[in-house]
Every structure is written in structure tokens, then in C-alpha cells.
A = this chain, B = another copy of it.
């Protein structure tokens, strides 16, 4: 087919095993070409799966809020993903992975550079083993994940544009800086803090920013009425279940891709182990949370089970490689129990988190990071606690400042009447289900 042929020139220039053609690369070079393409392809597929998690957060949150606030939460989710991509391309990626001034202060530059030159890759003998653009794609979906965590916690009462303003700050500055400290090779990495795929860098980060927002924002009207905690049931549980399945699937890319290489036997085995452990931890978390809610509340609360699965995923994210599948299941189960207790506790202290994001990603994220000290002999508890402290302090602090400024400038909470009527009509001019009688 013509379409194919039109690529031959290109194709052959770089790779040919047929002696019939001139200027062909050596076998060694060809091997590097193949390995490079395998690792890059694996990276792109992983990134696509993580991008899919954005849909998961959107569905989960849309299912757990009331119908009158559904359109607005969807708008926040699609918009924050887009903003994250733009800000991270504009400046975030360079802050996180550029040459920093020192191990605390990252460097500053703009836009993306060029990809690896073929010669450079060949010269490196395979040390440079995947595309820079593929790496950017994989990294950018991580920052979007961190920001997605925030939207759920502040749902049903925060102004749309104030939220998006914060998204600009978190994805362009707050996240990249702490990311630099760990994955960019900064001081957190030097002191041995271990966070394989981001229980801390991504999930605890998102939860800390969310907590700061919730504290400034206050609870939804009618959530805590003269000392009693009132239930505000989610409006569409199939969406919540769908969202959880999407996140579960996407997580294989999130953790599996974080191995960063698959093109040899050890790496292929490692990625496989990560897939298995990620899956087992989620399964363990779901079962544990479901059983606990049955025993505790007398009913099998689906929303708790879903949070349990996510808790298992967050818990294993800090170290999905070293544990055996059995241990991974237990780590997930602990996460599942913890998340239920945490959700109840946060309600007790009147921290209103409609979807349980702070519990799932924050509390369980911390658990996951601590667990590493037990599942990975090379990691010290001290280093883990330091990392947790640093990430929380940085993200919570800067977020508090950012939220406060936004609050002062444009306000962060909708008016009481708008909250009563639902933010959808007020912010977006639409209803999610205009034909059905909502309460």
C-alpha cells in the first residue's frame, strides 16, 4: 500500500537487516534500535493508560456528587487535565527534570527540548534508551493525576474558575518542585527516600493540596448539622463504579510504566511483577473495605468498597516491585481498612471530603510510603518519614498560600444560594440530567 511505501526511505535509513542495501547499521546498532523502540512503545502505552485515569476520576467524582453539581465537576475534571498538560509543557517538566541550581532549588526553563538524536543514542550504547517525548507524555499524565485528586475533595461548593486558577499553580509550580526533589534527583532522592511510582510525589501531594483547600473552604451546607454528620448520597453509583474500574486499569500504566524499562528479561519480569502486585493490592483493598463496612455498618457499602480498591492501589504504588503478591495483597488490605476508618474520622473532625480523596490518597499514601520500609530491606523508615514530612509540609504550605490568595482575589466558595440550587446551573448554565426530576 502506498501509505506504507512512503515510509520506506525513513525506515531503511535507520534500520535494515538486509545485506542487499547500502549504509546499513551494524547488528549492535540494530539491537539498540529495537530495544529503544520497545521501551518507548511500552512507555507510550503506559502513558495512555495513565491518561485514561483522568476519565476515571471524572466518572468517580460525577457519581459521588449530587446531580445538581455534576456538570461542574465534569467541567473541572476535563479542564484541569488540559491545564495540567499545558502548564507542565510550558514550565513544569523543565522545573522537575531540568538541571537544578542545587538539590533544593530546581532550574527554570521553558517549553520542551528536542528528542534524542539517533547518533547520540547509538553512541550511548543503549544508555539512552527511550524517547524524551515519550517520557514527557508519561510524566504529564502524572501531574494531571495529582490535580484530579483535588477536585473531588472540594466538590459541590468551590468556584470553578478559582479551582482552575489553583490548577495552574499546582501543576506549573508546586508539584514540579517536590517532583524535582525526588524524581528529579533532588535531596529527597539523595537521602534515600523511596517512592517508586508516587504514593508520595503524586498522591500525597494531591491530598495535601486538597486538605488545604478544604480547610479554607469549609464543609458543604447541610453536611454537619448541630453536631450530627448527615449523609449526602452520591447521585449515580454506576458512574462511581465505572470510574473505579477505569482507575484500576489505568494504574497498570501508572505503576507498570514507572519501571521505565521492559526490554530485557529482568525488566520484563519486573514489570510483570508490578502488574500482578498492583492488581492484588487493589483486590485486597476492596475485599477488606467491603468486609469492614459490612461488619461495622451492617451493610456492604459499595462506595467504601470502591474507595478500598483505590486505597489498595495507592498503598502499593510506593513499592509495587519488591513485595510478593501475597504481601502486596496484605498491603492493599491494610489500605482498605485504613481508608474506611479515615473517612469516618475525617467526618468526625468535620473535614468534608465528598469522595474520600484525602483519605484514599493522603492517609493511605502515607501508609504506602511507610510500608516500603518493611517490604523493601534497602529502605529506612527514617528516610520515608522525612520524605512524607517534606512533601506534606511543602505542598500543604504552598497550597494554603495559593488558595488564600485566590480566596482574597476572586473568592473560592459559591454563594449559599448557588450551593442550594446547585453549582451546575450557576457556573455552567446546564443540568447534568435535565429531563429527570432531581431532588
Contact = CB atoms under 8 A, between A and B. Distances in A.
8 contacts: A16-B126, A34-B34, A34-B35, A40-B271, A52-B249, A77-B241, A242-B242, A437-B437
A329 to B, nearest CB: 6
Contacts of A31: 17, 27, 30-31, 34
A161 B11 CA distance: 45
A159 to B, nearest CB: 11
A260 B4 contact: yes
B428 A302 contact: yes
Contacts of A45: 45
Interface in A278-320: 279-280, 282-284, 286-287, 290, 294, 297-303, 305-306, 309
A38 B40 contact: no
Contacts of A165: none
Tell me which of A32, A37, A248, A268 has the highest count of chain B C-beta atoms within 10 A of its own C-beta. Answer: A268
Nearest to A33: B264
Contact of A265 (B63, B121, B269): B121
Contacts of A209: none
A390 interface: no
A51 B239 contact: no
A108 interface: no
Contacts of A8: 127
Contact of A137 (B29, B36, B237, B272): B272
A414 to B, nearest CB: 13
Contacts of A433: 235-237, 436
A183 to B, nearest CB: 5
Contacts of A298: 429
A28 interface: yes
A265 B125 contact: no
A406 interface: no
A21 to B, nearest CB: 6
A405 B65 CA distance: 41
B265 A37 contact: yes
Contacts of A279: 51, 85, 137, 140
Nearest to A40: B268
